[in-house]
Structures are given as C-alpha cells and as structure tokens.
A = this chain, B = another copy of it.
C-alpha cells in the first residue's frame, strides 16, 4: 500500500503541466509523485511535430514528451501509472485511484488536461445512482445483474473483464479502435455509440440508435476523470478549473495547471503554469510548516 508515504505534492496528470510542476517542486526539494499515464500525454505524443515550444523549433510530440518525462524523473519525481478517481480534502489529502490505491499528500496539483469528452446526456443526473466511473469500486453492487460499460481507453478492458466475472451480462461499448480488444468472451461488444443514459430516479439503460438497452448499471471509463468528479466543491467555469494568477483553485492546498484551467491548449502555456502551480504549492507548504 502506498499510503505509508506522506507526499508533499501529488500531481494528477503526466502531461506537460504535470511535468513542469514536478521539475520545479523537485528543485525545491519536495517529495513529489505524479499519477497518470506512464508515457505522459497521449495527445502530445501523437503530434507529428511541435513548432511552438520555445527553444525546440522542430521536434516531434513524442520526443518532447519523452524529454519532459526524463527531466521530471531525472529530477527525482516519482511517476506512477494510475487513474485518480477521487480526492478527499482534509488536513492531508487522500487520493484514491481506480484500482483502489490510496495516496496521502500535503498538497495537490491538478494537471488533468483538457476534458475532451463531452458528458453524455443523463450522465450527470444519474451519477451515483446506477452510474459510476469505477467498476472496481461499485461493480459488486451489480453482482448477477446486467451492466453496460462505455470505454474510452483500452484500460477499460480490465474493468470490463472484472465485471464479466461477477455480473450476469456485460455490454461493452468501446469508443477507441477495437483492434486487439482483449475482453472476456462472455462480454458482448457493440459498435454503436450510446446517445444517452436513460432512467427515472436511477439509470435504467442506454439509448442506442436502434432503441433502448435496459441495464441495472452503467459505467463510463474515460482516460481522464472529469475534473468535477475528482474533488467536491471545486470551482469550475465552462468546464475549466477556475484559478488565479498563482494557479490556486478555490480549495486551499489544491492548485491546477495546464489545459484543465482553460485555453490556450498549448504545451508552453501548460509547462509554465505547472511551474507556477508548483512554486505556489511550495509556498503553501512552507507557510503551513
């Protein structure tokens, strides 16, 4: 269990903003952990060429992302694969990942990237009432029942397979390329794209192009959890986390940087904000100490 360690700064997200934050927090000698995708931002890594990150006139997104990771890890930041599901504030923060790992940290920097996914109609209403983001956490509620899973990342397959073990039937809607899909043969895989979550007081099914699919529970597994899901009472505006010039959010000890704080969605802006968020977090910790 990771919860033995009390981190100074836990960074949610491993893109340019997270790496910018990690480098600067490490230079200030804080204990830093980055949680997110192992290889950083997939969106950046897929850019064939980045022309506007100052100092590197011609570089591929993949090379740039690798340099960023090398810089942060070389500076002593710990990078762990993990999708953060929930952050509980308190005297110290408790951070829970999808696979139920717990982390404790004195400050948190949100660098979760731009939320590209639009919420599905009904998603917000039924959240916690038949709809969840974490199969490991809520799956057992649906033992021997039918569930639907919408997966936006191959990592959803693990959850689908876990559900296949305990549910009577799993309907799977992968929205990524289906080549190489590794799901339990009992799972029914769909090509259709669900249009809405249906229900009255609770989620009762999905709206598909050719009619309703009734299920007892719905899971949506995204690459990045929506920011409003991560921590309660976090102030958002137009889906961006509201920050001041020091990258402070409305919650003391929680800072944010990069695309999750709004446009422009650019590497240089994200890296610079990560730096500022880290220095603000350091100053927050130093005042507390």
Segment of A99-107, A126-134, A186-194, A261-269 engaged in the interface with chain B? A261-269
Segment of A65-73, A114-122, A145-153, A174-182 engaged in the interface with chain B? A65-73
Q: Does A64 contact B (CB under 8 A)?
A: yes
Q: Does A88 contact B (CB under 8 A)?
A: no
The residue of chain B having its C-beta at the shortest distance from the C-beta of A266 within the complex is B275
Interface centre among A64, A68, A264 (most CB of B within 10 A): A264
Interface centre among A19, A245, A272 (most CB of B within 10 A): A272
Q: Contacts A245-B262, A268-B20, A276-B269; is A70 near B57 (CB within 8 Å)?
A: yes
Copies in the complex: 2
Q: Does A123 contact B (CB under 8 A)?
A: no
Q: Contacts A245-B245, A262-B245, A268-B271; is A54 near B276 (CB within 8 Å)?
A: no
Instruction: List A30-88 residues whose CB lies under 8 Å from chain B.
Output: 51-57, 64, 67-68, 70-71, 74-75
Q: Contacts A268-B271, A268-B275, A272-B273; is A27 near B52 (CB within 8 Å)?
A: yes
**Nearest Cβ on chain B to A61's Cβ, whole angstroms:** 12
**Nearest Cβ on chain B to A125's Cβ, whole angstroms:** 30
Instruction: Choose one: B57, B67, B276; the contact of A55 (CB below 8 Å).
Output: B67
**A contact patch SS:** helix
B68-A274 in contact (CB<8A): no
Q: Per-position contact with B for A2-25: 1 when CB-CB < 8 Å, else 0? A: 000000000000001001100110
Q: Does A236 contact B (CB under 8 A)?
A: no
A51 to B20, CA, bound (A): 11
Instruction: Choose one: B51, B56, B57, B275; the contact of A264 (CB below 8 Å).
Output: B275
Residues of B within 8 A of A54 (CB): 16, 19-20, 23, 68, 71, 271, 274-275
The residue of chain B having its C-beta at the shortest distance from the C-beta of A261 within the complex is B245
**Nearest Cβ on chain B to A70's Cβ, whole angstroms:** 7
Q: Does A110 contact B (CB under 8 A)?
A: no
The residue of chain B having its C-beta at the shortest distance from the C-beta of A65 within the complex is B55
Residues of B within 8 A of A68 (CB): 54-55
Q: Does A166 contact B (CB under 8 A)?
A: no
B53-A55 in contact (CB<8A): yes
Q: Does A279 contact B (CB under 8 A)?
A: yes
A273 to B257, CA, bound (A): 13
**Nearest Cβ on chain B to A41's Cβ, whole angstroms:** 13
Q: Does A270 contact B (CB under 8 A)?
A: yes
Which residues of A are in contact with B by a Cβ distance under 8 Å?
16, 19-20, 23-24, 27, 51-57, 64, 67-68, 70-71, 74-75, 243, 245, 261-262, 264, 266, 268-276, 279
